[in-house]
């Protein structure tokens, strides 16, 4: 796992400039300073010289209140407070509402090499946007070998050994009208509070490798509607050469695959000659949509079979029958019941 422990101020300027609308008033060579926390800080009492709780590795945001305060007091008093404030080796300051910085602030920022930024956004709006962006830039990240697709709005991460057919299945899904997010290398990250999002690396974005054909540009072949830049990962689909006893026949076992400490539901699809893997993957997405709505077909069927077994054997009443038979016991009886024509 890789974690971006710090972000340079220059990267914050380059990232998502349309949303933050930041401009550099003066940087004095300090744009390489590091931000290590996603939360911003408003100076408040720090402008009066009380700097005990000032965190230099946070972005300092000054709004109308701070600027009016500096302008309302004498320049000597303002300079004294700002001197103690700027000595904290701040990573950067950002003024909101397009405000003009007071002269003492710019002078002391230059003296201490602190970049001064400005945005026309209202303070509350800017804080919300920059906090969200810093959370993304500073969140834990990792690269996973797999293919990420958006099927019916559900993010499916296809995993399996190299050459198992993940890219071919994804290509078939694209032909069915679904969307590719990333092929081969999926960059995953945590978005608060505990969701996992995936995207392609900049080099691989919107491209796919098909053995025997080489690298394909999915956007050029199928249009922009066939791709998307990122997607929340909601199910992991493992394509593997499993034996019959290695997978859940009922689909009631709660299998998970951890990504960056977050458990994602796992579905294992055994590969067999002649199986339409892309159709099965599409059904996984449809079944997940039902689960989002509180409908679990496998568990409903399990309860129905368990009730039938309990009633025919006389071991329990309908009300407590589902608790009397485990999923494995039910699975063992299904084949016999079906062959006898007892289950409709």
Q: How confident is the model at residue 300, as a pLDDT? A: 83
pTM above 0.85, yes or no: no
Candidate list 33, 58, 118, 166, residue with the active-site label: 166
Tell me if residue 112 is catalytic. no
β-bridge partners, 227: 180
Tell me if residue 184 is catalytic. yes
2-137 adopts what CATH topology? 3.40.1390
How far does CA 83 lie from the centroid of its chain? 41
Candidate list 39, 89, 145, 328, residue with the active-site label: 145
Q: How confident is the model at residue 331, as a pLDDT? A: 53
Domain regions of the chain by residue span: 2-137, 140-292, 297-339
What is the chain's percent helix, strand, coil content, to nearest 5? 40, 25, 35
Candidate list 16, 184, 248, 296, residue with the active-site label: 184
Q: How confident is the model at residue 327, as a pLDDT? A: 52
Tell me if residue 206 is catalytic. no
Write out the chain's pLDDT in tens, 344 residues: 444 468 899 888 886 667 899 999 998 888 999 999 889 999 999 999 999 999 999 999 999 999 999 999 988 999 999 999 999 999 999 999 999 999 999 999 999 999 999 999 999 999 999 998 898 888 888 999 999 999 999 999 999 988 888 999 999 999 999 999 999 999 999 887 789 999 998 888 999 998 888 999 999 999 999 999 999 999 999 998 766 556 666 667 778 999 998 999 999 988 887 789 999 999 999 999 999 998 888 788 878 888 888 888 766 554 554 454 555 555 555 545 544 444 44
184: alpha, beta or left? (left if phi > 0; alpha if psi -120 to 50)? left
Residue 313 CA: distances (Å) to CA of 29, 300, 318, 320, 331: 82, 20, 12, 14, 16
Candidate list 37, 97, 141, 249, residue with the active-site label: 249
140-292 adopts what CATH topology? Rossmann fold (3.40.50)
Q: How confident is the model at residue 167, as a pLDDT? A: 93
């Amino acid at each position: 796992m890789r974690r971006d422990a710090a972000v340079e101020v220059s990267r914050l300027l380059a990232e998502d400039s349309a949303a933050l609308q930041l401009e550099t008033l003066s940087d004095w060579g300090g744009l390489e300073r590091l931000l290590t926390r996603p939360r911003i800080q408003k100076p408040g009492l720090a402008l009066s010289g009380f700097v005990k709780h000032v965190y230099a590795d946070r972005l300092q945001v000054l709004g109308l209140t701070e600027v009016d305060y500096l302008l309302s007091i004498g320049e000597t008093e303002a300079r004294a407070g700002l001197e103690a404030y700027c000595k904290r080796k701040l990573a950067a300051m950002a003024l909101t509402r397009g405000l003009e910085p007071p002269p003492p602030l710019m002078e002391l920022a230059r003296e201490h090499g602190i970049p001064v930024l400005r945005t026309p956004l209202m303070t509350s709006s800017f804080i919300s946007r920059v906090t969200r962006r810093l959370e993304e830039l500073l969140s834990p990240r990792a690269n996973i070998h797999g293919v990420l697709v958006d099927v019916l709005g559900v993010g499916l991460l296809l995993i399996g050994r190299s050459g198992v057919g993940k890219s071919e299945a994804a290509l078939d899904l694209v032909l069915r009208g679904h969307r590719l997010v990333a092929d081969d290398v999926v960059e995953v990250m945590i978005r608060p509070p505990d969701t996992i999002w995936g995207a392609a690396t900049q080099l691989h974005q919107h491209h796919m490798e098909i053995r025997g054909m080489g690298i394909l540009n999915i956007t050029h072949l199928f249009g922009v509607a066939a791709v998307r830049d990122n997607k929340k990962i909601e199910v992991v689909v493992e394509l593997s050469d499993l034996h019959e006893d290695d997978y859940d026949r009922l689909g009631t076992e709660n299998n998970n695959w951890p990504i960056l400490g977050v458990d994602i539901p796992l579905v294992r699809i055994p590969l067999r000659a002649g199986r339409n893997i892309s159709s099965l993957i599409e059904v996984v997405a449809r079944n997940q949509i039902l689960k989002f709505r509180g409908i679990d077909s496998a568990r409903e069927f399990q309860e129905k079979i368990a009730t039938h077994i309990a009633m025919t054997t006389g071991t329990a009443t309908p009300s407590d029958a589902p608790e009397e038979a485990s999923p494995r016991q039910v699975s063992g009886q299904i084949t016999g019941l079906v062959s006898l024509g007892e289950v409709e």
